Amino acid sequence: MAAPAVPEFLYGTAWKEDRTAALTEQALRAGFRGIDTANQRRHYVEAGVGEALAAASRAGSVTRADVFLQTKFTYRGGQDHRLPYDPAAPVATQVAQSMASSLEHLGTDHVDSYVLHGPASGQGWSAADVEAWAAMIRERDLGRTRWLGVSNVSLRHLLQMEGTGAERPAFVQNRCFARLGWDRAVRAFCAERDIVYQGFSLLTANPEVVQHPRVARLAAHQNATPAQIVFAFARAVGMLPLTGTSDPLHMTQDLASRDLSLSPDEVRELEALAG
Ligand SMILES: NC(=O)c1ccc[n+]([C@@H]2O[C@H](COP(=O)([O-])OP(=O)(O)OC[C@H]3O[C@@H](n4cnc5c(N)ncnc54)[C@H](OP(=O)(O)O)[C@@H]3O)[C@@H](O)[C@H]2O)c1
């Protein structure tokens, strides 16, 4: 099985509807080598990602082996009527059906990361999650994904998951609010266990940071934009950031933020800015 490394940036494909294929292709052309999607038609067109990969491969620019491809299993509660599984089937069967449908949409025999889109309950790691996670591990053991992840989790979810003796995820993907210390507790849990923390909504969840005068000064000093400073900060504290930009210039700028470096003092200052 081809083994692309985990890239330094993920291109997110949510909310792009019939522009999904064109924008994903554009992101690949811009240089993104990590793509995040989900088998959740309500917010994603997973088949559009498959179209983009096929087109890039035909053009000879990017092959499947060059791309870190991540998709998700989404419970019934997070879906609309366009389900990738039989809602009457047990959760374990739904996971297997959703994965089979993802591989068909994406035109591949495996993904690189398979993520539980969110736990069944906000309160804690439930019996449904235990069943879904075991089914995801089976998919991994069958070679349909290289790694597994969980998304939209609290520290409580993660501790309870660990308490069940479950295999730990390779990835945690969370919305990252600066006012919650940039999800400090979950990031610390991940760092102690070599789990890669993927942060999304870094710009949209944190307008007070993006517009902060200190960030503007840092950006001017580095000849960069505030958005680039936020992504550089995310990377400096060990996150794998996501962006879902639809703008070709922003695609280039977001990737170029990999070349920015912040001093330890600047990182500490940004970390303390809002939380
Ligand atoms: N696991 C989950 O439940 C979950 C939930 C939400 C999202 N996600 C994933 O995360 C991905 C990213 O979502 P997101 O919530 O972070 O929001 P997003 O859809 O990426 O939105 C980012 C916003 O920031 C702007 N932006 C991006 N780069 C910029 C730049 N360099 N300068 C100025 N503005 C810039 C974009 O505007 P322009 O388009 O104009 O650039 C857009 O308005 C999604 O596509 C999805 O794959 C996962």
Nearest CA to ligand 1 atom 19: 244
Q: pTM score > 0.85 for this model?
A: yes
pLDDT given at position 3: 60
pLDDT given at position 61: 85
Nearest CA to ligand 1 atom 41: 245
Tokens of 131: 């069943």
Chain segment 186-195, per-residue pLDDT in tens: 999 999 999 9
pLDDT at 71 over 80: yes
pLDDT at 2 over 60: no
Ligand 1 atom at shortest distance from the alpha carbon of 228:
31
9 pocket-lining for ligand 1 (C-beta < 6 Å): no
Nearest CA to ligand 1 atom 43: 245
pLDDT given at position 4: 73
Chain segment 227-275, per-residue pLDDT in tens: 999 999 999 999 999 999 999 999 999 999 999 999 999 999 999 887 6
202 Cα to the center of ligand 1, angstroms: 8
Return the residue matching tokens 């940039």.
Answer: 182
Ligand 1 atom at shortest distance from the alpha carbon of 246:
39
